[in-house]
Amino acid sequence: MRVLIVGAGAIGGYFGGRLLAAGRDVAFLVRPRRAAELAKNGLVIDSPVGNLTVPSPPTVLAGKIERPFDLILLSCKAYDLAAAADSFAAAVGSATMILPLLNGMKHLDVLSERFGRSHVLGGNCVIAVTRDPQGNIVHLNHDQTLSFGELSGELTGRIRRVHEQLDNAGFEACLSEQIVQSMWNKWVFLATLAGITCLMRASIGDIVASSGGKQSITTLLEECRAIAESQGCAPERAVLDRALKTLTAEGSSLTASMLRDLESNAPVEADHIVGDLLQRRPAATGNQGGGCLLSTAYTHLKAYESRRAKSAQRAQPGEQLQRVRP
């Protein structure tokens, strides 16, 4: 199976590097600068579960894709999705499967409209990775799970072949018959985490230590859960209990990556993670209705985006706002 990893950033580079080390047929779709960097320094992973260096990993540039791939692993930011789809479009053949690792659900609709729903799988990952100034991938803990499955939940022959490729490759590969529910579970958690830490501009521990902080977290989690329930995808009680325990842990330094992006004056996934969830509220409560924390968090994020856009317009020629890409 020929596998194309879109980008060689933290997530794509980590899983792609492990697959290469396991002998899989993998290539990275990258920009010229990243291609030169990989050719010179190799793909370097610093991890508590085992360091890895892959000298001169196979790369391909957009516009240079000569034939379709069997599997495309996609882990870009939501605001880069359209550009990413353009870059790998030539790699999509009649039997190509696209495995996106984005959070939320909107990307499934975007990819299905562009390439056809039959090409799109469900997926998510649990991993904490970043890139250091040298471009090396730094794995921050022991979590390294990649879950995937058919959107229908069927155990088809093709998804079993995907499992064969991803299994025993140095990370935990989980073939799921309930991948859509798993994606909703993660979305409810992340929307709560992003909404509350961005709204309060603070870590979970600092919010919990503040008057009314724990109640605000609990309220926001319930709002997100209720939306999931209205879509027929309510998380189970045990899932919610684990989420609430994490989201209300005293002294926790946990923040959402969206807050870190916001504090770095970078683009944020406001529409994809918070706005799209808000749009899915039952009509009886008003899709954009005020009076809820999720709506307030979304307004806060959109105000940030508006201010950032104005700053970009005022920037001197040659100046650019920071843009963090995967």
Q: Which residue has the tokens 């990556």?
A: 257
Q: What pLDDT sits at residue 313?
A: 85
Report the alpha-carbon distance of residue 74 to residue 7 in Å, rounded: 8
- In sequence order, the β-bridge partners of residue 126 are 145
Q: What pLDDT sits at residue 247?
A: 98
Contact yes or no for 258/269 (Cβ under 8 A): yes
Structure token digits, residue 275? 């706005």
How many Å is the maximal CA-CA distance in the chain?
59
State the Rg of the chain over Cα: 20
Q: Which 3 state secondary structure label does DSSP give 173?
A: strand
pLDDT along the chain (326 residues), means of 10: 96 97 97 94 96 96 95 95 97 98 96 98 95 93 96 98 97 98 98 98 98 97 97 97 98 95 95 96 62 93 96 68 43
Residue pLDDT, tens place only, 81-138: 999 999 999 999 999 999 999 999 999 999 999 999 999 999 999 999 999 998 899 9
Q: Locate all alpha helices (DSSP H) within 42-149, ordered by sequence.
A: 81-88, 106-115
CATH topology of domain 2-177: Rossmann fold (3.40.50)
Q: What pLDDT sits at residue 74?
A: 97
Mark whether 106 is an active-site residue.
no
Report the alpha-carbon distance of residue 281 to residue 294 in Å, rounded: 11
The structural domains of the chain, with segments of one domain joined by +, span: 2-177, 182-314
Query: What's the one-letter identity of residue 96?
Result: T
Contact yes or no for 296/236 (Cβ under 8 A): no
Question: What are the residues whose beta carbons fall under 8 Å from the beta carbon of 227, sequence distance 6 or more?
Answer: 188, 277, 278, 280, 281, 282, 294
Which listed residue (77, 186, 302, 310) is catalytic?
A: 186
Q: What pLDDT sits at residue 324?
A: 39
Q: What pLDDT sits at residue 284?
A: 56
- In sequence order, the β-bridge partners of residue 3 are 26, 71
Query: What's the one-letter identity of residue 171?
Result: F
Q: What pLDDT sits at residue 291?
A: 60
DSSP H or E run through 161: helix 157-166
Same fold, 2-177 and 182-314: no
Report the alpha-carbon distance of residue 174 to residue 163 in Å, rounded: 8
End-to-end CA distance of the chain: 24
Structure token digits, residue 225? 């859960």
Phi then psi dihedrals of residue 307, to 5 deg:
-65, -40
CATH topology of domain 182-314: N-(1-d-carboxylethyl)-l-norvaline Dehydrogenase; domain 2 (1.10.1040)
Query: What's the one-letter identity of residue 54?
Result: V
Q: What pLDDT sits at residue 283?
A: 74
